[in-house]
């Protein structure tokens, strides 16, 4: 299956590696895979970004990690995204693409539409609302292939980042199977029910009843094949400002950004998580020996509040650092401080039962009584102290990961 030559909207499609334009013949002999216009390498974390985040975390500088995340998001914000529009012929796929692009079907750059089958090969279209996104108008199911399996192979479904399944008038078994196939590929898809204007003009129900029944009809069919819930939009391509069309645009905007950022930010999280875990292991080893008492920041090894502060500072989840991070992410400080468990030792001892046991009155009384038997006392006190410190350390480590997840999520949304 080759991409159509009928679309000239997305110029990179017709460029060869040297940047020169391919002749139609040359292009026709090029595989579909090789002409997908974007370099997926931009969707991974660069070595420099990983190094920067690693160093920042080792220094407990979460603000710098937040900057690294935002830089990554900025870099990948132009990564190409391929969206396939698929369905059955005549459902209104090409008309939907024109509506999404905000152009009429009579315009020269529009996707050809009509009652006869107009789309025989995949055709690509750019869209000014979504820079660096290619909308692929696929031939309808059954137009070219014998079976859905053939269709999926011929259309090279694995090349797309997101699918829009267009349906109208009825939601067929073909639509459901298509949805199931895409779901099994681990890809995201939307169901777009179009020609709503036609449904509304012929129905005997109120608009509200009609919308509800269409939605239920789609959901029932999807559930028959146990397809998970996916976004459903009820639209008319002739009224791109009404019904679910604005919501569809907004959802697309978020998902396109998510597609671009997901891989690199996941990489960044794993890189950071490893540093956090290594740092925790190192501190645990210190705690296991007596040397932790000599750690300058922990002057009094018994002072758990002091110990908590020292670990918070070491991982960059102290109040001041969280405030700075929140500010960098354009959020209220509270949004960041409220998600951490380790606000103060008293609060911590209430929510963490392990720490509660280690710091409760019974434990204190026990340690007090032990102090009358000095030969016993010292090793047991040391052991309890170590357990307390380890527990606090692990809570701070978990908090650091929680804050990190939020930083990555917020930076992805801001992108
Ligand atoms: N009333 C109405 N007609 C539509 C709508 N979308 C598409 N059509 C019509 O449906 C027919 C098939 O549309 P087309 O986009 O070519 O379908 P495709 O084969 O799925 O690409 C055309 O006559 C379109 O004008 C819509 O939202 N409302
Ligand atoms: Mg078409």
**How far does residue 233's CA lie from ligand 1's centre (Å)?**
16
Q: Is residue 254 part of a domain?
A: no
Q: Is residue 51 part of a domain?
A: no
- CB-proximal residues (5 Å) to ion ligand 2: 94, 118-119
Question: What pLDDT is stored for residue 189 in this prediction?
Answer: 97
**How far does residue 159's CA lie from ligand 2's centre (Å)?**
20
- Classify 232 as helix, strand or coil: strand
User: Are 204 and 300 members of one domain?
Assistant: no
User: Are 89 and 170 members of one domain?
Assistant: yes
Ligand nearest to the CA of 95: 1
Question: What range does the domain containing 149 cover?
Answer: 11-35+80-243
pTM of the full predicted structure? 0.74
Which of 199, 215, 243 represents a domain boundary (last residue)? 243
Q: What is the pLDDT of residues 238-275, one digit of tens each?
A: 999 999 999 999 999 999 999 999 888 998 999 999 99
Dihedrals phi, psi of 82, to nearest 5 degrees = -105, 120
Rounded Cα–Cα distance for residues 393 and 310 (Å) = 10
User: Are 231 and 270 members of one domain?
Assistant: no
Kindly give the parts of the chain with pLDDT less than 50.
1-39, 292, 294-299
Q: Is the CB of 257 under 6 A from ligand 1?
A: no
**How far does residue 195's CA lie from ligand 1's centre (Å)?**
7
For residue 166, the ligand 1 atom closest to its alpha carbon is 20
Q: Is residue 216 part of a domain?
A: yes
Which of 187, 212, 243 represents a domain boundary (last residue)? 243
Q: Is residue 385 part of a domain?
A: yes
User: Are 147 and 196 members of one domain?
Assistant: yes
**How far does residue 92's CA lie from ligand 1's centre (Å)?**
4
Q: Is the CB of 221 under 6 A from ligand 1?
A: no
Which of 195, 214, 243 represents a domain boundary (last residue)? 243
Residue identifier of the C-alpha nearest atom 4 of ligand 1: 195
Rounded Cα–Cα distance for residues 336 and 403 (Å) = 7
**How far does residue 210's CA lie from ligand 1's centre (Å)?**
20
Look-up: residue for tokens 């606000």? Answer: 343
Output the six-digit token pair for 41. Answer: 């390498």
Q: Is the CB of 236 under 6 A from ligand 1?
A: yes
Question: What pLDDT is stored for residue 15 in this prediction?
Answer: 29
Residue identifier of the C-alpha nearest atom 8 of ligand 1: 92
Dihedrals phi, psi of 133, to nearest 5 degrees = -115, 135
User: Are 398 and 270 members of one domain?
Assistant: yes
User: Are 16 and 99 members of one domain?
Assistant: yes
For residue 98, the ligand 1 atom closest to its alpha carbon is 15
188-193 sheet: strands from edge to edge:
123-126, 133-137, 81-87, 162-167, 188-193, 232-234
**How far does residue 57's CA lie from ligand 1's centre (Å)?**
54
Q: Is the CB of 91 under 6 A from ligand 1?
A: yes
Residue identifier of the C-alpha nearest atom 12 of ligand 1: 90
- Is residue 129 within 8 Å of 8, Cβ to Cβ? no
- Is residue 393 within 8 Å of 313, Cβ to Cβ? no
Cα angle 140-145-149, degrees, rounded to a multiple of 5: 100
User: Are 29 and 176 members of one domain?
Assistant: yes
Neighbours of 212 (CB within 10 A): 12
User: Are 142 and 223 members of one domain?
Assistant: yes
Residue identifier of the C-alpha nearest atom 22 of ligand 1: 114
**How far does residue 166's CA lie from ligand 1's centre (Å)?**
11
User: Are 84 and 120 members of one domain?
Assistant: yes
Domain count, the chain: 2
- Dihedral, CA of residue 189, residue 235, residue 200 and residue 174, to nearest 10: -30
Q: Is residue 151 part of a domain?
A: yes
Q: Is residue 251 part of a domain?
A: no
**How far does residue 38's CA lie from ligand 2's centre (Å)?**
24
Residue identifier of the C-alpha nearest atom 10 of ligand 1: 92
Q: Is residue 55 part of a domain?
A: no
Output the six-digit token pair for 119. Answer: 């789309």
Question: What pLDDT is stored for residue 22 in this prediction?
Answer: 26
Output the six-digit token pair for 164. Answer: 């829009």
- Classify 88 as helix, strand or coil: strand
User: Are 382 and 310 members of one domain?
Assistant: yes
Question: What pLDDT is stored for residue 117 in this prediction?
Answer: 58
- Classify 380 as helix, strand or coil: helix
CATH number at residue 211: 3.40.50.300
Mutate to test the pocket of ligand 1, among 110, 113, 194, 196 (most ligand atoms within 8 A of CB): 113
- Dihedral, CA of residue 229, residue 231, residue 236 and residue 241, to nearest 10: 160
- Classify 58 as helix, strand or coil: helix
Q: Specify which residues 133 forms β-bridges with.
A: 81
User: Are 227 and 342 members of one domain?
Assistant: no
Neighbours of 189 (CB within 10 A): 21
Q: Is residue 59 part of a domain?
A: no
Q: Is the CB of 195 under 6 A from ligand 1?
A: yes
User: Are 156 and 287 members of one domain?
Assistant: no
Residue identifier of the C-alpha nearest atom 28 of ligand 1: 195
Q: What is the pLDDT of residues 10-69, one digit of tens each?
A: 222 222 222 222 222 223 223 333 334 444 555 577 788 888 888 898 889 999 999 989
């Amino acid at each position: 299956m080759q991409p159509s030559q009928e679309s000239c909207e997305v110029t990179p499609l017709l460029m060869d590696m040297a940047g020169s334009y391919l002749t139609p013949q040359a292009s026709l002999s090029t595989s579909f895979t090789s002409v997908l216009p974007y370099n997926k390498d931009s969707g991974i974390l660069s070595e420099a970004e990983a190094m920067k985040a690693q160093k920042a975390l080792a220094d407990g500088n979460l603000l710098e990690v937040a900057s690294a995340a935002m830089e990554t998001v900025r870099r990948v914000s132009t990564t190409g995204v391929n969206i396939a529009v698929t369905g059955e012929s005549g459902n209104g796929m090409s008309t939907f693409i024109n509506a999404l692009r905000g152009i009429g079907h009579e315009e020269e750059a529009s996707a050809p539409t009509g009652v006869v089958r107009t789309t025989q090969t995949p055709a690509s279209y750019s869209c000014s609302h979504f820079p660096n996104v290619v909308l692929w108008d696929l031939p309808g199911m059954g137009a070219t292939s014998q079976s859905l399996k053939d269709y999926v192979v011929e259309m090279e479904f694995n090349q797309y980042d997101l699918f829009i399944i267009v349906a109208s008038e009825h939601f067929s078994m073909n639509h459901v199977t298509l949805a199931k196939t895409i779901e099994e590929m681990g890809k995201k898809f939307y169901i777009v029910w179009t020609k709503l204007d036609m449904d509304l003009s012929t129905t005997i129900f109120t608009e509200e009843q009609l919308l509800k029944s269409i939605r239920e009809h789609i959901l029932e069919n999807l559930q028959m094949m146990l397809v998970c819930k996916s976004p459903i939009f009820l639209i008319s391509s002739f009224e791109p400002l009404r019904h679910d069309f604005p919501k569809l645009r907004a959802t697309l905007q978020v998902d396109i950004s998510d597609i671009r950022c997901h891989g690199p930010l996941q990489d960044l999280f794993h890189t950071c998580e490893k540093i956090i875990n290594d740092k925790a292991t190192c501190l645990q080893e210190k705690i296991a020996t007596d040397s932790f008492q000599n750690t300058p920041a922990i002057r009094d090894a018994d002072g758990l509040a002091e110990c908590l502060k020292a670990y918070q500072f070491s991982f960059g989840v102290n109040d001041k650092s969280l405030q700075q991070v929140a500010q960098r992410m354009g959020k209220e400080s509270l949004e960041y401080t409220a998600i951490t468990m380790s606000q103060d030792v008293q609060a911590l001892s209430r929510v963490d039962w392990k720490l509660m046991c280690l710091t409760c009155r019974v434990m204190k009384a026990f340690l007090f009584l032990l102090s009358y038997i000095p030969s016993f006392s010292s090793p047991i006190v040391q052991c309890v102290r170590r357990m307390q410190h380890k527990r606090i350390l692990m809570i701070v480590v978990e908090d650091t990961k929680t804050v990190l997840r939020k930083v990555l999520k917020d930076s992805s949304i801001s992108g």
